[in-house]
Chain A
């Protein structure tokens, strides 16, 4: 880099003194560039690609899109909505006599396990929205060709992918935490005035599963979707795969296994899908009246909650690593 010379500096000052405003014009572009070079010598030595910088950039990129706030807001709202709906059902069931359908004078006490289960299962619909957020976080780079400027600024694609992953994870985490806090508040409002029976035996584990597991699951779903987006590099493709994995696959397997009783092991297969793994993990393998217990009567193998957690983790790892490999290898045209 050349040092700025004194004469050029004088020119620039003269130009500035004449009140020439920065815009595209014939004589003052070189003047502006010259001034820029002069100033740049002070900061250009500090220019350096860093992971923190990349992470900061990815956080800003997501924050500067309206779609981020819409999707995350929708996800939190869905969590609250689902919690409200199940809370209402639970309290309604406690306040009527199931045999006669009449309202009881003194409602039955609510089981704490049921309330926690309501909270833990409130994220299953929101997961789909979080999934769309994760897919779009990376596919929008490709569909708008922003990927070119992103990778020219940061040609280390692993760093780019990791930075984006952490940014997406942080936003998803925030949405999950906001969602579950609001959902807890809603639940408390509904449960007010009811007696609550304490947790018994091994039911205590529903607390850490909900408090830690729930936001973690939201983050995992976001990362899995990001990986699927990176694998497909197309919004339509990525969202389709997410919908299939989170909605279609488990339903199809469950229906088929019910219809064809001989191949009931398909039911086990259904538990290997990401959404069933997610729900089973958050359910904590606790028998609860609020959560449908039809499945527990089946004769096929059903994974324990922690096994389901590992199954979900495997899905996430496979999708994320697949996305990493494609991001690193693919030509950007």
Chain B
């Protein structure tokens, strides 16, 4: 279990973390979500004693990381895809890390096999692709068969097979009763893997919840209608309070005739009945959930630090 309590850190003029508090429970995958520069990496580094926080502390299974007798058994961490000396072979890198904690040599070969690095074990780490480097970082994290996994954007650079493998690894470690903290800037990725959610923006925790609850709260329902009679449709809801009708973009899945509308605030069943009574012709009538990505964007939009201009502006 990883407990983070009131972590604050300032880098020069920038307040990187302000009172970050959350817990990554045993037996759960905790998704740590936030835009670039939100403080995910800083929080993870502070947990592991790489950054000294100005205030607050982090406990690994109830103890500060720095004082642990067997750090690699307590925590396996992937903080950066590139975490090995470029001129050192993958195996020598892992073996050196294993030596520090008196981990037997055969465990090194074991993690090399597990991460699919067997054929490149003697290759210098500097010649690895991003995906291979990521696998090497994960191999290093697994060396001590740790009770807690801390993974900072572990799927960056991985191929689809590798992404799936990391997902299964996270689920497997959680099923063993261990704590997994998984950071990402992609909601879709975390929603597939995580049980709990911690959302951070500009150094503040915005929300601590579970994936299920987040889905229930934030996925607003709407109805999409394709009709050749837009005036009639607008007239039906003209006086209805809390219901809005707005033109929507046509997708390839829509019929190519008629006009597309999105109706929010209306119930599917009653809308269908009203349409039938009014004799409205519809080519398509479907209820949709707003995507999790949209809900997450809405939550963090004001907190985004590095924002690109909209395309075409």
B121 CB to nearest chain A CB (Å):
12
Most buried by A among B72, B118, B140: B72
Alpha-carbon distance between A39 and B109 when the two chains are bound, in angstroms: 13
Given A22-B113, A33-B172, A332-B51: A61 in contact with B96 (beta carbons within 8 A) = yes
What is the 8 Å Cβ interface bit string for chain A, positions 140-178, against chain B (1 contact, 0 not)? 110011101111111110000000000000000000000
Size range of the chain B interface in the assembly: 35 or more
Residue from A32, A33, A48, A153 in contact with B97 in the complex, judged by beta carbons closer than 8 Å? A153
Given A144-B82, A152-B48: A53 in contact with B87 (beta carbons within 8 A) = no
* Residue B209 CB within 8 A of the other chain: no
* Residue A7 CB within 8 A of the other chain: no
Residue from A23, A30, A48, A141 in contact with B116 in the complex, judged by beta carbons closer than 8 Å? A23
Given A26-B168, A30-B168, A53-B102: A331 in contact with B50 (beta carbons within 8 A) = yes
The interface stretch among A62-70, A217-225, A262-270, A273-281 is A62-70
Q: Is the CB of A47 within 8 A of B84?
A: no
Residue from A25, A29, A47, A65 in contact with B85 in the complex, judged by beta carbons closer than 8 Å? A65
What is the 8 Å Cβ interface bit string for chain B, positions 78-92, against chain A (1 contact, 0 not)? 011011111111001
* Residue A49 CB within 8 A of the other chain: yes
Q: Is the CB of A32 within 8 A of B114?
A: yes
Alpha-carbon distance between A191 and B110 when the two chains are bound, in angstroms: 58
Q: Is the CB of A152 within 8 A of B144?
A: no
Q: Is the CB of B50 within 8 A of A332?
A: yes
Given A153-B100, A154-B71, A155-B66: A331 in contact with B147 (beta carbons within 8 A) = no
Size range of the chain A interface in the assembly: 35 or more
Give chain B residues whose Cβ lies under 8 Å from the Cβ of A71: none
Given A29-B165, A155-B71: A47 in contact with B87 (beta carbons within 8 A) = no
* Residue A36 CB within 8 A of the other chain: yes
Alpha-carbon distance between A41 and B137 when the two chains are bound, in angstroms: 23
Give chain B residues whose Cβ lies under 8 Å from the Cβ of A333: 45, 50-51
Alpha-carbon distance between A224 and B202 when the two chains are bound, in angstroms: 41
A100 CB to nearest chain B CB (Å):
57
Q: Is the CB of B101 within 8 A of A153?
A: yes
Q: List 16 A-B contacts (CB under 8 A).
A: A22-B113, A22-B114, A24-B115, A26-B164, A29-B165, A36-B111, A40-B107, A40-B145, A48-B70, A49-B69, A49-B72, A49-B100, A64-B89, A152-B77, A332-B50, A332-B51
Q: Which 9 residue pairs across A and B have the least CB separation, nearest first? A: A22-B113, A64-B92, A57-B99, A24-B116, A332-B50, A40-B145, A57-B96, A149-B83, A331-B51
Which B positions have Cβ atoms within 8 angstroms of A?
45, 48-52, 65-66, 68-73, 75, 77, 79-80, 82-89, 92-93, 95-104, 107, 110-111, 113-116, 118, 137, 140, 142, 144-145, 147, 161-162, 164-165, 168-169, 172-173, 176-177
